Amino acid sequence: MSSDSRRKYSSTVVDGAYKAPGRSMLRAVGFTDEDFKKPQIGVASTWSMVTPCNMHINVLAEEVARGADEAGGKSVIFNTITISDGIANGTEGMKYSLVSREVIADSIEAVAGCEGFDGLVAVGGCDKNMPGCLIAMARLNRPAVFVYGGTIRPGKNHTDIVSVFEAVGRHSRGDITDEELAEVEKTAIPGPGACGGMYTANTMASAIEALGMSLPDSSAQDAVSTNKMDDCRNAGAAVLNLLDLDIKPRDIMTRKAFENAITVSIALGGSTNAVLHLLAMACTVDVDLTIDDFTKIGARVPVLADLRPSGTYMMSELVAIGGIQPLMKMLLDAGLLHGDCITVTGKTLAENLAGVKPYPAGQQIIMPLDKPIKKDSHLVVLRGNLAPDGAVAKITGKEGMRFTGKARVFHSEEECLANILDGTVVAGDVLVIRYEGPRGGPGMREMLSPTSAIMGKGLGKDVALITDGRFSGGSHGFVVGHITPEAADGGLLAMVENGDTITIDAESRQLTLDVDEAEIKKRRSNWSPPAPRYTRGVLAKYAHTVRSASEGAVTDKF
């Protein structure tokens, strides 16, 4: 394929006498005469010093640019935002977290669309910027590759960010001293990289690799490593190959590819946020994916990975034994993956996995298919009168499969956390946190602070928590989120009162409020929607446009 035929978009920006002003601007940022003849490759960097997840990504973006330039393209690095869930959790600022996914997608689309890039490589390293990058790629539908920024290494004594959150609960219980809490705080985060368990970042990186939108092994590399630098350089070259082959995101992000992503997410024991983000990504490419597909696929896919938060090991330890490629090969050989899906290598998934070796003998991180940690999915979609449109639970079985208790109702995450830490919350409680949904929050905050406090207090098997908000990938315990319709939209969650009996049944997949219909009707007649919490700015716009969590909380579906 000629150079000109690969310049479908950039040629409209730089070719011809009347484009001299644009070329003049580009010369100032380093373009030469020869560069104007090359396909332009946008490199979307999520670098910032906001969070350790992204603090190294400027270096990775430069390596991507080098790979694209060496392969015959002209790279152009640009930035988008990121926020830090780990810093914002438990505060009003966390309402911007899920919102940032849309801001990131919008900003990448805007820059790439405006500047006429022929291809795109995006480097992401934290929960929202990864699906944000994929949504932008899907909207633009130009040859594109995603690069994961990589995982952090464990802190002292095998700690990570969730260790710090749970230490807060242990401290309030009196199990550790001020000095011990400070020691965990100071040593749990040793440097760059995304949170170290199978939390949302590593879950989404693995799902994206299984989807076919990143190079093999991209999801399972340490943030600071020669392997990650090689991955970046190879990604820069790979997008030029995709231009030659005319392979675009919509060719890769098919229904079968999403089924592969779901399968791998389940096998790894991944975050409930995978449900939200995969639904949103599928919506962008018009793939008909629903929360019920997670149930159908989950019935045949076991949980095989003993990874945090509910397990023992960290992502860096999975990296050391081969990452997720041997797991994918195992799943493919068992008929659980679609091997004919095309990927960003230009080859099929089966071709990519053909030479992959099995895990080393004696490793304890990934279980064999005949000895799973759980025989079916830990991601359980519940319905029932509290969630007629669905809710999502992460239940590994370690917490039990059924919980019945008395409701203790809160209208915010902060209020709930205070009651956990001061001892008000006791065994047998079902904590109800409402008006935290996509519209009601707005922004669908994660509940990592209260769930970690519950675990730190030693109440993980004795207290349940349900919400129209969502959970961090680091959350574990008997927790149910994404309840739809949300309270702000008049869902039954809004009518729950203190002392009501609530049952969570993972086997029958029901979330039930045990109150008779006459009483529910009476409560509903006395309910009125809350006033919007924000009337200006990005949160107000988000609340006005966002769809239900059961649809991925997207903002561009009209």
Exposed, middle or buried: residue 81 (CB in 10 Å: 0-12, 13-18, 19+)? middle
CA distances (Å), origin 55, targets 58, 160, 163: 7, 17, 21
Contact by Cβ (8 Å): 258, 131: no
Contact by Cβ (8 Å): 142, 112: yes
The torsion angles phi and psi of 526, rounded to 5 degrees, stand at -95, 0
Q: Is the peptide bond before 530 cis (omega within 30 degrees of 0)?
A: no
Q: With CA atoms as reference, report the closest residue to 68 among 214, 237, 241, 231.
A: 237
The string of DSSP codes covering 256-275 is HHHHHHHHHHHHTT--THHH
Q: Is the peptide bond before 358 cis (omega within 30 degrees of 0)?
A: no
| Cα–Cα distance measured from residue 507 to residue 460, given in angstroms and rounded to the nearest whole number | 19
Q: At what angle do helices 413-421 and 448-456 cross, to 10 degrees?
A: 10
Distance of alpha carbon 498 from the chain centroid: 33
| Cα–Cα distance measured from residue 508 to residue 319, given in angstroms and rounded to the nearest whole number | 36
| Cα–Cα distance measured from residue 445 to residue 373, given in angstroms and rounded to the nearest whole number | 29
List the helix and strand counts (H, then E) for the chain: 21, 12
User: Is 10 a catalytic site residue?
Assistant: no
Choosing from 97, 472, 475, 548, which is the catalytic residue?
472
CA distances (Å), origin 39, targets 17, 76, 239, 245, 397: 19, 11, 10, 14, 52
Strand locations in 358-477 (E): 379-382, 390-394, 402-410, 429-433, 464-467
Place of tokens 């019935």: 299
| Dihedral over alpha carbons 268, 100, 166, 374 (to 10 degrees) | -20
| Cα–Cα distance measured from residue 446 to residue 276, given in angstroms and rounded to the nearest whole number | 12
Exposed, middle or buried: residue 286 (CB in 10 Å: 0-12, 13-18, 19+)? exposed
The torsion angles phi and psi of 359, rounded to 5 degrees, stand at -60, 155
Residues 6+ apart with CB under 8 A from 109: 136, 139, 140
Residues 6+ apart with CB under 8 A from 27: none
Q: How many CA atoms lie within 13 A of 153 on its CB side?
A: 10
Active centre residues (catalytic): 472
